[in-house]
Amino acid sequence: MRVRFWGVRGSLPVPGAKTERYGGNTSCVEVRSAAGTRVVVDAGTGIRKLGKELAGEGEAGRARVHLLISHTHWDHIQGLPYFAPLYQRGNKMTVYARKRDDLHLQAVFASQTHDPYFPVPFAEADAAIEFTELTDAAKFSIDDVKVACARLNHPYIATAYRLTVDGASVVYVSDTAPFSDILFEDEFVARPPSPGAELPAKDRQKLARMREGVVRLCEGADLVIYDTMFTPEDYQRIPHYGHSRPMDAVDICGEAGATRLALFHHAPERTDAEVDAILAETRATAARSSRKLDVVAAYEGLEVELGKG
Partner 1 sequence: MGGFGDPPGVPIMKIGFWGVRGSIPAPGPATVRYGGNTACVSLRPDAAGKDGRLIILDCGTGARNLGIGLMEGAFGKGGGEASILLSHAHWDHIQGFPFFVPLYQPGNKFHIFGGAKSSAMLEGILEGQMAPQYFPVQTLKNMGATIDIVAIAEGKTFEVERCQVRARMNPHGRAGALAFRIEEGGRTVVYASDAGYAAGGPPADSIELYRGADVLIHDSTYTPEDKKRYADRGYSSVEDAVAAAIAAQVKRLVLFHYDQDYADADVDALCARGRRLLDERGGRDIELIGAVEGSTLDV
Footprint of partner 1 on this chain (CB under 8 A)? 9, 11-17, 19-20, 23-25, 45, 48, 72-74, 77-79, 81-82, 100, 103, 108, 111-112, 115-119, 155-156, 186, 188, 190, 241-242, 268, 300
C-beta closer to partner 1: residue 59 or 300: 300
**Which of 26, 169 has the CB closer to partner 1?**
26
Q: Which is nearer to partner 1, 64 or 76 (CB)?
A: 76
- Other residues' Cβ atoms within 10 Å of the Cβ of residue 99: 13
Closer of 23 and 246 to partner 1 (Cβ)? 23
Please give the Cα distance from 298 to 281 (Å, whole number). Answer: 15
Minimum distance from residue 181 beta carbon to partner 1 (Å): 16
Residue 71 beta carbon to partner 1: minimum distance, rounded to whole angstroms: 9
Which residue's CB is nearer to partner 1, number 85 or number 258? 85
Distance CA 304, CA 2 (A): 6
Each residue of 24-39: b (16+ CB within 10 Å) or e? bbbbbbbbbbeeebbb
Beta sheet of 260-264, edge-to-edge order: 139-142, 145-152, 158-165, 168-173, 223-227, 260-264, 294-297
d(CA 104, CA 117): 19
What is residue 239's DSSP assignment?
A: G
Task: Specify the DSSP element, H or E, that contains 297.
Answer: strand 294-297
What H or E segment, with its residue span, contains residue 173? strand 168-173
Tell the smallest beta-carbon distance from residue 168 to partner 1 (Å).
Answer: 30
Cα separation, 69 vs 27, whole angstroms: 10
Please identify, using beta-carbon distances, which residue of 22 and 215 lies nearer to partner 1. Answer: 22
Measured CA to CA, the distance from residue 21 to residue 274 in angstroms comes to 12
In angstroms, the first-to-last Cα distance of the chain is 7
Q: Minimum CB separation from partner 1 for residue 180, in Å?
A: 19
Q: Compare residues 254 and 301 and give the one whose CB is closer to partner 1.
A: 301
Closest distance to partner 1 from the beta carbon of 156 (Å): 5
State the nearest-atom distance from the C-beta of 25 to partner 1, in Å. 5
CB of 212 to partner 1, least distance (A): 25
Distance separating alpha carbons of residues 8 and 28, to the nearest angstrom: 7
How many CA within 13 A on the CB side of residue 14? 20
Contact present, 228 and 263 (Cβ < 8 Å) = yes
